[in-house]
Every structure is written in structure tokens, then in C-alpha cells.
Structure 1
Amino acid sequence: MIDIQNVVKKYPLRHGREHREVLSNVNFRIRRGEKWGILGRNGAGKSTLVRLISGAERPNSGYVTRNMSVSWPLAFGDAFQSSLTGRDNLKLICRAYNVDFEKAFSFVEDFAELGPYIREPIKSYSSGMSARLAFAISMVVEFDCYLIDEVVAVGDYRFVEKCENELFTRRKDRAMIMVSHNADFIKKHCEKVAVLHQGKLTVFDDVDEGNAYYLSL
């Protein structure tokens, strides 16, 4: 289970003299195997919430308790060492998570479809190439809960379909938290939904009800 209790997140403005409260007293609980959608307009704080759940950032107050393993946000390529090659970045991840490198490399090389660029520095990649590599690397480490931050639009229709099969079919028993502003995507993949608006998170057990509330904002 992941338990988010009374979480507040603020960011400094004007050289720290003022703060903007992005998340205000957020409460949220995700159990094993549950598929949750987080809907919100651009700038609502969805990605901030994902970073807090992943542990990449800490709240100003409140608690995030994780009793299952949680992925980094899928296709989040900012964590790469840009001077290293795609292959070498994969090697670092494999060491950190105790994953067999040769087996992982075979999968990533085939899945990401980067060709010879897999052996080139990340700084030479386009944003799409970096996202495809990040998604492929995410699939070589098994987690109890996957964080999905607008991830599967990382290529053409064929590649998106391949991503969805790898994630939603092969790992259908895992918990997932999907962050989006696309209500149709959330309805397709989620059984519960929460809407983030003006720092407040409103939780719905019924996806249609949550989508209707989101579309009314």
C-alpha cells in the first residue's frame, strides 16, 4: 500500500520571500493491484504529486508511506547521465537494482528501436528517443506499482501499442498510478480516479463520475 496523508507541497517564488502551494492537504491511498487515474489541467500539480509518490521529492508537511516498491515516472529521461551512452545508463540502472545486464540490454536494444544510437551519448538523442529508452529501461526492473506520467505517447501508433501491451497486459496484476489530462485514456485503463484542481485532490470510486467532474471544471 502507498498512503499519502495530509501532504502539502510548496515552491518558493521571488527569491524565497513568497511560496506557491501546489498541493494542499492531499490524502490518497493506493492498494496493491489498483489502477488509479489522476486527472488535472496543465499546471495542476500532477507531476509534482508523482514525484512525491516516487520519493524524488519530499513534501513540506504530511507523509508518504510506501509499503510496496514504486517505479520512477515512466519515460522520465531527465535522470539519465547525458554524457554516457544509452547502454552505459542501462548498466548503471542494472547495478543499482541487481538486474542481469546482458538480458536487460537485449530487451532494451530491441524494444527501444534506437539502432546504433544505443551506443551514443544521451545528449545526442531527441526527446522522443530519450523517452523510448527510458520506457524500455523501466520495463527491465519489476515494481509493485508503476507511475505513469503521460508516458505512452512516445512514438507512432505501433510503438504506443507495444508500450501499452508491455505495461497493461504483461503487468496487469501491478498497481498503477496514471497521471493525465486525457479523460478517455484514464477511462480506458483505470478503475478509480482522482481529480487535482487548485491544489486539492478529490477522490472518486466511479471513473465516469470523476471524469464528469473533471470535464466540468
Structure 2
Amino acid sequence: MIRLTNLTKSFWTPDGPKYVADDISVTFPSGVSVGLLGRNGAGKSTMMQMISGTIRADHGTIETTGTVSWPVGFAGSFHRDLTGAQNTRFIARVYGVDTDELLDFVKDFAELGSHFHLPIRSYSAGMRSRLAFGVSIGIPFDTYLVDEVTSVGDADFRRKSRLVFLERMRTSGALMVSHSDQQLRDFCTAGAVLENGRLTYFDDIEDAIRQHNINLGTISGEDD
């Protein structure tokens, strides 16, 4: 469960404060995969970062039960001078999971070959993304935070990522950001729409997608 209470976050612009969260109070239930929708710049990634603890809110609280991942696929916490294997080992120790099991999983999943034992600074962006996804999904969390993660890699890697993530969703919940309505339908049962700093929760992902498209003006708000 993730509960936001009076959550507020703004950024200063030449025109004054821009609120990405304006006194939001909502609860994401345990074990439910929720698609987070909103137009570009609405603050979806900022919302994910606040929930993961990498950005602080101006006001309000975030309460969680169970374990919550960092944004899946986020590579910003890797130490550039350590190898992929060393970074993986360090993260395993931080999260209290079996080091050898995580190393074996990531080595097989990320498909980095000998680069797994080279410093991160030598990696391409795609290699860092594959490593980050492998480490993230290799740790069993109760809730995964997912920001466009299945766009990583080539078609075969994306297919493999999708299958692994679907398997994780059998026993975990998620909060997912994606620009693909179909991807949200594939992974999520519920949805939430972020618009002008307000967050509206929907038990049905189809209702959330419809409201988002109404906000964008791509469909009418009138019933057919």
C-alpha cells in the first residue's frame, strides 16, 4: 500500500510556481498494478521519485507498507568506477538479498557478456539500462515503480523484459508510467490520472485511459 496525504510539490518558473502535486491525498492498494497517466510535463516522473524517496515533497506525507522499489531501470545510483558485477553485489547487500543469486540473475538477464566485469563508465546508455533493469527486477519487491521501462533494448530484450515483469506481477503490485495505452492495459488493472497537480484514482484502467484522453482533447467527454 502507498498512501499520499496532502502531498504538495511545486517548481518555480518565470510565471510563478508550477504545481505537479497540489494537496494530493490518495491510496494505492497493495497488490494492485496502477497505470499513472498524465500529459507531458504533468509531473509523473516527479511523483515516482517522491514515492521512491529521491525527491522531497514540499508538504504532506507518503506512507508505504511492504517494500517499494526505486524506479525500475534507473541507473543514476550506479558508481561509474565500479563494474556492473560490483554494483550489483553492493545493491544486493544494501537490500539484504542473496548476493550470488542476484549476480547470477543479472548476468544472465542483462546479456552484457564480459562487460559485466568492466567499469560502468565504459558502458553505453543501452548497456546501463539493461543492467539497471536486471538489478531492479532481480530483487523481489512488494511494489515496483516503473517508468517506461519496457522500452529498454532491442525487440528480443523488450519481449524478455515483458515476460519477466508479468511474472513479477503475479505476486507484486506496481505503479507504472507509460505513453502506450496498450502497455498499460497489458500490465495494469487500475489507473490514476495526474492533471494540473491533481491526482484522480480509478479502479478500472479503461476509465483512467478515457479520462486522460478527454484531458488531452483526443476524445469527447460525452457518452457515445
| Bin for the TM-score computed over the shorter chain | over 0.9
Letter aligned with residue 11 of structure 1: F
Tell me, in whole angstroms, the C-alpha distance in 1 between the residues paired with 2:178 and 2:168: 22
Q: Deviations over 1:112-147 (max 9, x none)?
A: 001111111112212111111011111232111011
Q: Structure 2 stretches of 5 or more lacking a match?
A: 217-224
**Match in the other structure for 1:5:** 5
**Structure 2 contact 70–145 (Cα < 8 Å) conserved:** yes
Tell me, in whole angstroms, the C-alpha distance in 1 between the residues paired with 2:122 and 2:71: 22
User: Which one of 115, 121, 143 corresponds to residue 123 of structure 1?
Assistant: 121
Letter aligned with residue 72 of structure 1: W
User: Which one of 58, 61, 76 corresponds to residue 60 of structure 1?
Assistant: 58
Q: Deviations over 1:168-192 (max 9, x none)?
A: 1244121111112222211221111
Pairwise CA distance, 1:18: 5.3
**Structure 1 contact 42–181 (Cα < 8 Å) conserved:** no
Letter aligned with residue 5 of structure 1: T
Q: TM-score, normalised by structure 2?
A: 0.90
**Structure 1 contact 40–180 (Cα < 8 Å) conserved:** no
Matches within 5 A, 1:36-185: 36-185=34-183
**Match in the other structure for 2:220:** none
Letter aligned with residue 43 of structure 2: G
Residue 20 of structure 2: SS of its match in structure 1?
A: strand
Residue 177 of structure 1: SS of its match in structure 2?
A: strand
Matches within 5 A, 1:178-217: 178-216=176-214, 217=216
**Structure 2 contact 34–205 (Cα < 8 Å) conserved:** no
**Structure 2 contact 34–176 (Cα < 8 Å) conserved:** yes
Residue 192 of structure 2: SS of its match in structure 1?
A: strand
Tell me, in whole angstroms, the C-alpha distance in 2 between the residues paired with 1:120 and 1:13: 41
Letter aligned with residue 145 of structure 2: L
**Match in the other structure for 2:221:** none
Post-superposition, which runs of at least 4 consecutive aligned residues in structure 1 deviate over 4 A? none
**Structure 1 contact 6–25 (Cα < 8 Å) conserved:** yes
Tell me, in whole angstroms, the C-alpha distance in 2 between the residues paired with 1:200 and 1:102: 43
Between the two proteins, what is the percent identity of the paired residues?
A: 40
Q: Deviations over 1:75-96 (max 9, x none)?
A: 0001111121111111110111
Tell me, in whole angstroms, the C-alpha distance in 2 between the residues paired with 1:80 and 1:151: 17
Aligned residue pair count: 215
Q: Deviations over 1:5-52 (max 9, x none)?
A: 1110123457xx954322112222122211100011221100111011
Once structures 1 and 2 are overlaid, which stretch shifts more, 195-204 or 129-138? 195-204
Pairwise CA distance, 1:213: 1.6
Letter aligned with residue 114 of structure 1: L
Tell me, in whole angstroms, the C-alpha distance in 2 between the residues paired with 1:136 and 1:85: 14
**Structure 1 contact 195–210 (Cα < 8 Å) conserved:** yes
